[in-house]
A = this chain, B = another copy of it.
Amino acid sequence: MNKQELLELLQKVESGDLSPQAAAGKLKMQPFEDLGYAKIDHHRGIRQGAAEVIFGLKKTPEQILGIVDSMVAHGEKTILITKMAQQAADMVGSRHKLEYNEMAQLGVVGGGDANNAAGNIVVVSGGTSDMPVAEEAALTAEALGSRVSRIYDAGVAGLHRLLSYAETLAQARVVIAVAGMEGALASVVGGLVDCPIIAVPTSVGYGASFGGVAALLSMLNSCSSGVSVVNIDNGFGAGFLANRINHMGDAK
């Protein structure tokens, strides 16, 4: 509720169109539905420019289905479910139109707004093994309405592979750099482009990669300017943010 709405509410009280009790109720009314195990925010799309996202990790299939049911009932058009296991996908898919990508463990109910796809996000990954995270990022951005180009297996050990895509990179509005092991990709890409780079460390590696910590630290210490970092394996977060940046340029 912004200031204008507040003023209008109070003017209705002044004019007698609304009782103080009703106004107090409205001021307290929450734009969410309480399922007991979850409080679903039906206004987030309006407030934050994207549909509600369900973080699937450690939620039961029944809980996920219940949340989707509630959201669909409220007219939510696009619902993303991240870290979604096959079992939950089966249950949700049996009742709703679900596109499920097993590798990325990402489900989309209602499909993305393909029509208003815009901009140009480039997802570049270091190795084949990084694909699940890279796809989570790419599919998320697409579901939210962005055009996405993919450059996979372009790690810095064979620099010519990456450099051969210099033009694609140069035309990006946002680059998502996905890499495990030493995570050097973000810095190298950072030196090639002049747009924001979102770095996603992955847990690909073994030994002293410590489940992605090596790549995470590498990316946080990037000597290239313009790089910021999200959590290890957080392809969704990168795709979400990239899409948000990609849609900037509207007046404010």
Interface residues, chain A, CB within 8 Å of chain B? Answer: 2-3, 6-7, 10-11, 13-14, 16, 19-21, 23-24, 27-28, 30-32, 36-39, 41, 44, 47-50, 53, 55, 57-59, 63, 83, 119-120, 126-129, 131, 152-161, 164, 167, 170-171, 173, 181-184, 186-188, 190-196, 198, 201, 203-234, 236-238, 240-241, 244-245, 248-250, 252
When distances are taken between beta carbons in the complex, the residues of chain B under 8 Å from A192 are 159
CA distance A126 to B59 in the complex (A): 13
**Residue A223 contacts which of B127, B186, B252 (CB distance < 8 angstroms)?**
B127
CB closest chain-B residue, reference A151: B39
A241 touches B221 (CB 8 A): no
Are B37's CB and A10's CB within 8 A?
no
16 A-B contact pairs sorted by A residue (CB < 8 Å): A3-B167, A32-B160, A32-B164, A38-B153, A39-B152, A48-B194, A57-B129, A58-B129, A119-B252, A156-B184, A159-B192, A171-B252, A173-B252, A196-B241, A221-B231, A229-B229
> With a CB–CB cut-off of 8 A, which chain B residues contact A236?
225
* A contacts with B: majority SS: mixed
Shortest CB distance A24–B (Å): 6
**Per a CB cutoff under 8 Å, which of B11, B161, B182 touches A219?**
B182
Given A7-B24, A14-B20, 6 other A-B contacts at CB below 8 A?
A7-B21, A38-B152, A181-B223, A182-B184, A184-B187, A203-B207
**A205/B225 in contact, CB under 8 A:** no
- CB contacts (< 8 Å) of A225 on chain B: these are 48, 50, 53, 157, 236-237, 240-241
> B237–A191 contact, CB under 8 A?
no
Please indicate the chain B residues that have their CB under 8 angstroms from the CB of A226 in the complex: 48, 240-241, 244
Residue numbers in B under 8 Å from A164 (CB-CB): 28, 30, 32
B-chain residues with CB within 8 Å of residue A158 when the two chains form the complex:
32, 39, 41, 44, 191
Bound complex: CA A131 to CA B39 (Å): 13
The CA-CA distance from A191 to B53 in the complex, in Å, is 13
A30/B188 in contact, CB under 8 A: no
